[in-house]
Structure 1
Amino acid sequence: MRLRADIWVSAYLRRCAVEGAVATLRRRGAAEAGAIFVKIDRLDGRAALFAPAPQSELAEHGVERLWSRAHKDDWIEPADVEKRLAREIGFDSDLWIVEVEDRHGRHWLDLAEESPI
């Protein structure tokens, strides 16, 4: 059974705080199974967006949740991340958005292969 989205987000926010990063919940989604998107802001004009990886990748990696970058480049403009999030909200109003501010760009997510969604 998969961990509920609300419990995962709560644990992730705590993990970020323990590591010294500022993480905030920007949008609360469906508690049981809402998709979670994580924005990493380096506070220098660069950002990244991580989205859930395809479910088919989970079994191969043996982890609870798996992530992939939602764009081709490693870092993009924060405004481009916001545009992508607005599109995603249009598709799925039950999604979660977590934003992490970390000058080093750390994210603490298990990543799938580095191919953008």
Structure 2
Amino acid sequence: MRLRTDIFVSALMRRVFARGDFAAVEAKGAEEAGAVFVRQIFRDGTESLHAPAPQSFFDEDDTGRRLFETRLERAEAAAVTDAVARERRFDGDLWVVSIETDDLGDLIAFAGEEPKDDGFFRR
């Protein structure tokens, strides 16, 4: 069973703040099952956009973890803004979380990575 989106986003933000980084909810979507997009902002002004991984990455025995894939990497802010706008036209219930950090570390899990269990998120 997947964790509600509002709880996932809240926990993600707490983890970001605990690391000493900054995060903000740029767009709030469906509380129970909205897709989450992560906008990573680097110190040099470039940004990356991480989106939900396609369903083909999930096993039949899915543990409910959220997997991400990188859609844009170290692009100009305008390109990321345009990509988010296109996604919002397609799905108005999505969430956009902006995180100002040069390293996401273990904040989100990427498709194709080995799952991690840090005691809170099963990843």
- TM-score under structure 2 length normalisation: 0.82
Q: Larger % of strand: which?
A: 2
User: For residue 70 of structure 2, what is the aligned residue in structure 1?
Assistant: 69
Q: Report the 3-state secondary structure (helix = DSSP H, G, I; strand = E; otherwise coil) of the residue aligned with 1:70.
A: strand
1:49-60 alignment runs, 5 A limit: 49-59=49-59
Runs of 4+ in 1 over 4 A off after TM superposition: 60-63
| Percent of pairs with identical residues | 43
Where structure 2 has 5 or more consecutive residues not aligned to the other structure, the ranges are 114-123
Where structure 1 has 5 or more consecutive residues not aligned to the other structure, the ranges are none
Distance 2:53 2:80 in 1: 17
8 Å CA contact 1:46–1:76 kept in 2: the answer is: yes
User: For residue 13 of structure 2, what is the aligned residue in structure 1?
Assistant: 13
User: For residue 41 of structure 1, what is the aligned residue in structure 2?
Assistant: 41
Larger deviation: 76-85 or 59-68? 59-68
Q: State the superposition RMSD in angstroms.
A: 1.9
Distance 1:92 1:39 in 2: 17
Q: CA deviation at 1:7?
A: 0.5
Q: CA deviation at 1:106?
A: 2.2
8 Å CA contact 2:2–2:64 kept in 1: the answer is: no
Alignment coverage as a number of residue pairs? 111
1:105 to 103, 106, 111: 103
- TM-score under structure 1 length normalisation: 0.86
8 Å CA contact 1:16–1:22 kept in 2: the answer is: yes
